[in-house]
Amino acid sequence: MKNLFQNLIFLLVLFLPLSNNAQTVQLKIKLFDLETNNYISDANISLSDIYFTTTNNMGEAIFAGIKTAGYSIKISHISFNIFESKIDILSDTLLTIKLKPRKINLKEVIVTSGKYEQNINLLPYSVSTISVKEIQTSPAFTIPDLLKFESGISLMRDGIWGTEISIRGLNRANIVTMIDGNRIETSTDISARLSMFDINDVERIEVIKGAASSLYGSGATGGIINIISKSGSYSDKLNLRINYSGGFNSVNNFFSNGINLIAAGNEWIAKLGGTFRNAENTKTPSGELKNSQFRDESFNALFRFRPVENHEIKFDYQQFNAFDVGIPGAAPLFPTNAIVTYPTELRRLLSVEYKINNLSSSLIKLTAKYFYQFISRDVENIPGTVQFIPGTNGQPPRRVSVLKISPGADHNVNGFQTQTDFKFNNHYLITGFDFWKRNYVGLRTRDQIIEILNANDSTVVRTVFKTIYEKPLPDANFNSAGIYVQDEINLFDNLDLTLGGRYDFIWLDNSETLNPLYEINDGVINNNPAVQKIIWNSESAQNKSYVFNLGIIYSLNPVSNIAFNMSRSFRSPSLEERYQYIDLGSILRVGDPNLKPEQGYFFDLGYRLFSDKINLNASIYLNSLTDLVTEIPGIYEERIALIKSNIGKALLYGFEYSFNFNIIEQLRSYNTLSYTRGFDKQDDENLPQIPPLNGTLGFEYYPFNWLTADFSVNVFDEQNKVAQGEISTPGYSIFNLRLIFKNLILGNITTSFSTGIENILNKEYRNHLSTNRGFILSEPGRNFFLRANIQF
């Protein structure tokens, strides 16, 4: 870590003196609503697809240090008509532009998940996004809850707080998760990694649906999730914004309160924020879902400044703590009646980024970033199991009660990234290098009471309190270094070609591991228990991979195109998949250090239409994987176990679409449909955890500029194409209603809030991807919710 930080400082010192010899100027844009003359915030502005920014809460956007030249300017906002024009910027310039409101909300979004800013409609691969406006009006309180009705994405549950997503049938270890481009590396056996965020601090969420290994390396065989935090905008005068966000859900008495403060000047931006949330057990149509409560809090801080023209340094710190989080799911890992919680969870992130723009006429951007992320996860499992051991070979009978099993681990990730962006002729070329190292240190304790019984009448003769110390995984390191290149080429006016490639070198090592490590019997330490043995030898392993992607965009006309993407993907098995030995009182989960890397080929063919009245995005896809890692039922040490194994060949294919249509000026309909089929080609069996055919139909009515009424129905077909050990899931439909009141202005205060009902009919249904244990298997029931956002 120290060496990485020193290298970063060296880079900062090296590049600080660099400057562009060409004449540079400043462009300031002020945006107003044509009808109300109010400021327009959060509008996306592009200059010739080279420079990108968004307007602040005063409707201002500043492009500092741009070259004198002619530019094509494009401004888009979900609530306004697109503005396009050409302009010559020869000196410092101020533009005042008024946009005409539109009733239909079509997504015209700039995304960064392709490693640089791009228009979502001009990408060769499939992407879903969630905007800050959607986050502020949604009753969801986790990232997967926000994404669950996007086409091709399904919600997975290990609890109410602990959630994950499935992207086109692949999930958990097959999806790379990032916060502001920084990888999140932790165990995925029990959901937590996508719940450890302050949603009030999220600007948008981007999801690449399909293999993305050529840009993001090992693990992106199913897709990537990039959660982008609020970072503010520069202002030519002192600008202070205070934002309060609050919420309530009746289904679990959920309360949320958050404050976000952003101050900005011409050369600096500072941000402070925090949120506190609390929820009780969730009510379902079947009854109360016991042990589904949670409490969490978060704090975040950011500072950006421009030391000289075209240079920017950004410091970011995030901390998230969770307490007493119930885990009613994660079957069959835990016994049915076990009480399982996360007593404490912690995520800390520190990152430092240096960015230089316009180094030359062709080298338009250079970035270097160091990040450190620490995740501490503890589980408390009260299994409630009692085992009677008959007396044999002179040993008296015993009754063993397992009081508590407490696994815990620290996950430390250090990473460094650097990337250069070139633009020349008809090419946009990026080259980059990234390195990250995950260090794992874990321990599991098992508290037992052993009662020595009288062989004649079973009375207790003596009681022993025993604590067993074990290693669920060996202490280990996972290192990954990769170089990548991607070139976006404009071959003709209506044809764009994207070519990319990546090489990764992965190496890992682990310590020799004894099981158990030691025992404490009535306060006496025993470092050499009779059953102690070596379960993992000290080992090291290496993997190398070469992956590529090819993308084509063919524009049929200015508002529609056909997109094709083909890529080769790669995933090196994780530390948990290689080494885990999880014994929490139910079925064993066992890893295999000799697992082969997953490899695959992914194909995606799509059609996009993005006119003023219609927005259609449709895709068919196929994902062919070899050596897919999954859990196979088996026997390990004479116990029933789920053993990590490679499946010879797996195939996933399907289709999806999302459709928005402006029926009349004040009425919009929206519709999604998703279908995935997955099977093991070698054994001709269904793959597990494949979501059923599902879709959404909804209508938004805009009687006034400040009011939106939203009615929707979510429909899921039955899932009877199940894997061995899975149970079929009946189909169901749930109805929802939401009212959104936006931009209610009183002096300097702007208020927006939403209220509504989820699952209006209190429908009892089961999510096919849920792992709930016990007698309550249904999803949350009727929920009355309120969300408020107040900006000063």
Top-confidence residue, 396 or 351: 351
pLDDT computed for residue 550 by the predictor: 96
Residue 37: CATH number of its domain: 2.60.40.10
The pLDDT of 36-46, averaged and rounded, is: 81
Claim to verify: residue 47 and residue 116 sit in the same structural domain: no
pLDDT computed for residue 391 by the predictor: 85
Tokens of 697: 């139909």
Annotate 709-736 with b (16+ C-beta within 10 A) or e (fewer).
ebebebebbebeebeeebeebeebebeb
Phi, psi at residue 616, to the nearest 5°?
Answer: -125, 130
pLDDT in tens, 354-400: 999 888 888 989 999 999 999 999 999 998 888 888 888 888 899 99
The answer to whether the CB of 386 falls within 8 A of the CB of 158 is: no
Claim to verify: residue 619 and residue 726 sit in the same structural domain: yes
pLDDT computed for residue 16 by the predictor: 45
> Which whole-number Å values give the CA distances from 384 to 24, 327, 448, 467, 520, in the listed order?
70, 15, 11, 16, 21
Band (20; pLDDT cuts 50, 70, 90): very low
pLDDT computed for residue 18 by the predictor: 45
pLDDT computed for residue 640 by the predictor: 82
The CA distance from 724 to 770, in Å, is: 16
The CA distance from 124 to 111, in Å, is: 13
The pLDDT of 145-159, averaged and rounded, is: 95
Residue 211 burial by CB count (10 A; 0-12/13-18/19+): exposed, middle or buried?
Answer: buried
Phi, psi at residue 76, to the nearest 5°?
Answer: -135, 145
Single-letter residue type at 57: N
The pLDDT of 328-352, averaged and rounded, is: 88
Claim to verify: residue 265 and residue 142 sit in the same structural domain: yes
Claim to verify: residue 35 and residue 179 sit in the same structural domain: no
Mean residue pLDDT of the chain comes to 90
pLDDT computed for residue 585 by the predictor: 62
pLDDT in tens, 742-773: 989 888 899 999 999 999 999 999 999 998 87
Give the predicted TM-score (pTM) of the model.
0.89
Which of 99, 127, 154 finishes a domain? 99
Residue 687: CATH number of its domain: 2.40.170.20
Claim to verify: residue 470 and residue 584 sit in the same structural domain: yes
pLDDT in tens, 276-329: 999 999 999 999 999 999 999 999 999 999 999 889 999 999 999 999 999 998
Band (104; pLDDT cuts 50, 70, 90): low
Claim to verify: residue 568 and residue 456 sit in the same structural domain: yes
Claim to verify: residue 423 and residue 376 sit in the same structural domain: yes
Residue 156 burial by CB count (10 A; 0-12/13-18/19+): exposed, middle or buried?
Answer: buried
pLDDT computed for residue 164 by the predictor: 95
pLDDT computed for residue 304 by the predictor: 96
> Is 8's pLDDT higher than 50?
no
The pLDDT of 474-482, averaged and rounded, is: 96
Claim to verify: residue 51 and residue 124 sit in the same structural domain: no
Which of 56, 80, 99 finishes a domain? 99
pLDDT computed for residue 425 by the predictor: 86
Claim to verify: residue 602 and residue 652 sit in the same structural domain: yes
How many C-beta neighbours within 10 Å does residue 182 have?
25
pLDDT in tens, 654-690: 999 999 999 988 999 999 999 999 988 888 899 989 9
Identify the domain containing residue 47 by its residue range: 4-99
Claim to verify: residue 646 and residue 718 sit in the same structural domain: yes
Band (81; pLDDT cuts 50, 70, 90): confident
Tokens of 492: 């003709």
Phi, psi at residue 587, to the nearest 5°?
Answer: -75, 140
Claim to verify: residue 80 and residue 119 sit in the same structural domain: no
Top-confidence residue, 698 or 59: 698
Question: What is the torsion angle, in degrees rounded to the nearest 10, for the CA atoms of residue 526, residue 527, residue 529 and residue 535?
Answer: 150
- The DSSP 8-state label assigned to residue 163 in this structure reads E
Of 17-21, 201-205, 405-409, the one with minimum mean pLDDT is: 17-21
How many C-beta neighbours within 10 Å does residue 303 have?
15
Claim to verify: residue 9 and residue 140 sit in the same structural domain: no
Of 127-141, 265-279, 770-784, the one with minimum mean pLDDT is: 770-784
Q: Concatenate the DSSP letters of all residues of 400-448 into one string.
A: EEEEEEEEEEEEEEEEEEEEEEEEETTEEEEEEEEEEEEEEEEEEEEEE
Of 7-16, 174-183, 296-305, the one with minimum mean pLDDT is: 7-16
Q: How far apart are the first and last CA of the chain?
A: 40
The CA distance from 377 to 344, in Å, is: 7
The pLDDT of 407-434, averaged and rounded, is: 94
Which of 82, 99, 116 finishes a domain? 99
The pLDDT of 124-144, averaged and rounded, is: 93
pLDDT in tens, 111-120: 676 666 777 8
> Is 106's pLDDT higher than 60?
no
pLDDT computed for residue 635 by the predictor: 83
How many domains, the chain? 2
pLDDT computed for residue 72 by the predictor: 87
Q: Could you tell me where the DSSP H helices lie in 33-168?
A: 132-137, 143-147
The pLDDT of 93-118, averaged and rounded, is: 72
pLDDT in tens, 597-650: 999 999 999 999 988 889 999 999 999 999 988 888 888 877 888 888 888 889
> Is 1's pLDDT higher than 60?
no
> Is 14's pLDDT higher than 80?
no
pLDDT computed for residue 108 by the predictor: 54
- The DSSP 8-state label assigned to residue 538 in this structure reads -
